Structure 1
Amino acid sequence: MGLTKKQNIIISNPQTRDFLADACYPENGERLPLVIFVHGYKGYKDWGAWNLMAEKFAEAGFFFVKFNFSHNGTTVEDPHNFADLEAFGNNNYSKELSDLGAVIDYFVQDEKVDNHKIVLIGHSRGGGISIIKTYEDERIHGLITLASVDTLDRFPKNEAFDNWKKAGVYYVTNGRTKQDMPHYYQFYEDYEQQEHRFDVERATEMAKAHVLIIHGTHDETVNVKNAEHLHILHPNSKLFLIENADHTFGAKEPWESSELPSDLNTATEKCIEFIREKM
């Protein structure tokens, strides 16, 4: 069975700006479940082993989409690098939810998509965004979190917060690229104005979709307790812990192997099994 791969499709969102998406799906003539991957903080659609993951989902019979948030620091012209740090600094949760809505709107119109079978897979902060979107958008039937946060209140605290408010910006050094990445205070203002909307705990409790929570027990970035908490909040969810897996399930950038890392392969197989069972 051959796969169709469409890369760097331009998605227009009047509320933010144009951004890119990829689609990968089998050429079998059937309407396919739509699976949308939502990247996390300092992530992007072509990072690490995400392309190999996309192929595995497509080979399993799904219409798999991944995309760059409009303000994740990449650009339409340069999707592989953080070429626009000003955009990165002006990102916020409202923009990410708007972009995710634009992605769903775009791909549900595809004749190969079964729009009664829509699944979000959110990694890290993208998990929190996916949880909120699942609660807000009744079109979403399945939700899978990979190493997800259990709150979007992940801002500086105490003196660091006061300094951020005073200066209007704080910087985080990207360990891989060595770039100092700005975060403008508007990010917190957007959160504060819509704190009820961005309540991941509430959205988890209220979500109507089938839910699978996947986390590594050695996640160095988002503690596994986040996954256990989400599972308590949504008792009908399935919790799948991968022993000794880290935050990216063994993947890194660049990923030079033609095979998925073992832990990410395990996570992907669990996702496929879950979608087949529930959809």
Structure 2
Amino acid sequence: MIVKHQILQRIDNKPIVWDAYFKSDSTKKPLVIFCHGYKGFKDWGAWDLVAEMFSEQDLFFVKFNFSHNGGTVENPIDFPDLKAFAENNYTKELNDLDDILNFILSENFPYKNIIDTKNITLVGHSRGGGISIIKASEDQRITSLITWASISDFGSRFGSNEDISAWKHHGVKYVLNGRTKQHMPHYFQFYDDYLANKDRLNIKKATENIRIPQLIIHSLEDEAVKFSEAENLHLWNPKSDLYKITNSNHVFGASHPWENVKLPKSLDLVVHKSIAFIK
């Protein structure tokens, strides 16, 4: 069963749009929650196919848009709301993940009877990997953690001191989206929020505190997030499993839009490794 573009309304917060993929029988299924990365969204590329593969293996797979990723309820694909994008920060993404998890585990969730609430895996891609690591270190409900091409720190993403000074002076900086050609804004509040929550947002410290099974998957040739970041994560938690993907890239061979009915070879391998790890 596929349930698409559902809306989690929140008081004093932007809504969260989510999908669920699962077999509609009475068997209790491990819950898998997927977190997209920077300039990402739940319907990007091959993520629908990925979700179907997880559900075929008797897993309850949920993917969602972070509330300030630039999408809207009416158009959750791409970035029609650049003001929301500019107002995003890491704390908001952690709050979003907490809210979606609380909702799924609540009495109000329509499919609560087929979820094994004692078996919850976070899967995070790229920046979503960093968010997932922080969340897994904080929340004892999470029972396993998988990251795909994850970053290993947040602070270095902001650039040099000169970059930060210029950003503060102008109040906003722009990043070109090579695919959509949009100049995507970031307000300086993003950096202020990082400084205010620097200790919480320390991925190294969070990884060292992980006490649950952790799988790190990363491409050796990743051009966006270097393989050394996966090595960092593995170093900080030696009990983690590190799986190298060769001859691939940051999105494991996928692209947007993805028209093929099959996953690219590398992403197919990523999915199979992840499912085997959960099971």
Q: TM-score range by the shorter chain?
A: over 0.9
Identify if the C-alpha distance between structure 1 residues 15 and 221 changes in structure 2 by more than 3 Å, giving closer, same or farther. Answer: farther
Q: Deviations over 1:86-127 (max 9, x none)?
A: 000000011000000111111123111101000000000000
1:77-156 paired onto structure 2 within 5 Å: 77-109=74-106, 110-153=112-155, 154-156=157-159
Which one of the candidate residues 223, 234, 247 is aligned to 1:244?
247
> Take 1:148 and 1:211, find their aligned partners in 2: how far apart are those partners?
12
- TM-score normalized with structure 2 length: 0.96
After the TM superposition, which segments of 4 or more aligned residues of structure 1 sit over 2 Å from their partners?
12-16
- Amino acid corresponding to residue 197 of structure 1 in structure 2: R
Check if 1:22 corresponds to 2:19.
Answer: yes
Aligned residues between the structures: 273
- Amino acid corresponding to residue 129 of structure 1 in structure 2: I
- Amino acid corresponding to residue 177 of structure 1 in structure 2: T
Structure-1 residue corresponding to 2:189: 186
> Take 1:65 and 1:19, find their aligned partners in 2: how far apart are those partners?
12
Structure-2 residue corresponding to 1:226: 229
Identity in percent: 49
> Take 1:11 and 1:173, find their aligned partners in 2: how far apart are those partners?
30
Q: What runs of 5+ residues in structure 2 fail to find an aligned partner?
A: 107-111
> Take 2:271 and 2:133, find their aligned partners in 1: how far apart are those partners?
19
Structure-1 residue corresponding to 2:169: 166
The 10-residue stretch of structure 1 (86-95 or 107-116) with the greater mean CA deviation from structure 2: 107-116
RMSD: 0.8
> Take 1:202 and 1:189, find their aligned partners in 2: how far apart are those partners?
20
Q: Secondary structure at the match of 1:215?
A: strand
Contact 1:108 1:114 in 2 (8 A): no
Which one of the candidate residues 36, 59, 63 is aligned to 1:66?
63
Q: What runs of 5+ residues in structure 1 fail to find an aligned partner?
A: none
> Take 1:246 and 1:16, find their aligned partners in 2: how far apart are those partners?
35
- TM-score normalized with structure 1 length: 0.96
1:15 Cα shift? 5.4
